[in-house]
Structure 1
Amino acid sequence: MAVEIIVRETDTGLEIVSGRRRLQALLALQDEVVVMSPGIGEMVIARLPDGRLQGSANPEHVALFRRPDTSGNPATFA
């Protein structure tokens, strides 16, 4: 499953503009998810033990947490 969220940069980090519900649903199933954000590209979002969200667009972090799509298409990742 892939999800797209739109974020904007603020003084304190990134703020989710849209896609928060879908992201929360994915984070209810696993602690880290890879998402696509226009203007940023792929990024990994992780839920920290205290409930805060932390994101990274570092390609090494994205590759570490990318999971194969379960639809049977090996060329797509979510």
Structure 2
Amino acid sequence: MSVEIIVRETGTGLEIVSGRRRLETLLALRDEVVVMSPGVGEMVIARLPDGRLQASANPEHVALFRQPDISGNPKSFA
């Protein structure tokens, strides 16, 4: 499973432009998901205990939370 989220940078962080519904679906299954965002690249988005979302494009964070696709395709991550 893979998901693409389009985000834009604001004065207070990143705002999701499209893909929020798919992201919410994935976060219902896991607390952290790796997504692809055009212009940003791969990023990990985590739901904090208070319900807020936090994102990081740090490659070390992305590698830590990257999960292989169930189909075994190593190029697709969720």
TM range (shorter): over 0.9
* AA partner of residue 36 (structure 1): M
Find the counterpart in structure 2 of residue 36 from structure 1. Answer: 36
Runs of 5+ in structure 1 lacking a partner?
none
Runs of 5+ in structure 2 lacking a partner?
none
Find the counterpart in structure 1 of residue 58 from structure 2. Answer: 58
Contact between 2:35 and 2:77, CA under 8 Å: does it hold in 1?
no
- Report the aligned-residue RMSD: 0.9
Find the counterpart in structure 1 of residue 49 from structure 2. Answer: 49
Aligned residues: 78
Query: Cα deviation per residue 1:41-73 (whole Å; 9 max; x = unaligned)?
Result: 000000000000000000000000000110122
- C-alpha distance in 2 between matches for 1:75 and 1:40: 18
Contact between 2:32 and 2:46, CA under 8 Å: does it hold in 1?
yes
Find the counterpart in structure 2 of residue 67 from structure 1. Answer: 67
TM norm structure 2: 0.95
SS at match of 1:4: coil
Say yes or no: does 1:27 pair with 2:27.
yes
- C-alpha distance in 2 between matches for 1:6 and 1:75: 19
Runs (4 or more) in structure 1 with deviation over 3 Å come to none
TM norm structure 1: 0.95
Identity of aligned residues (%): 86
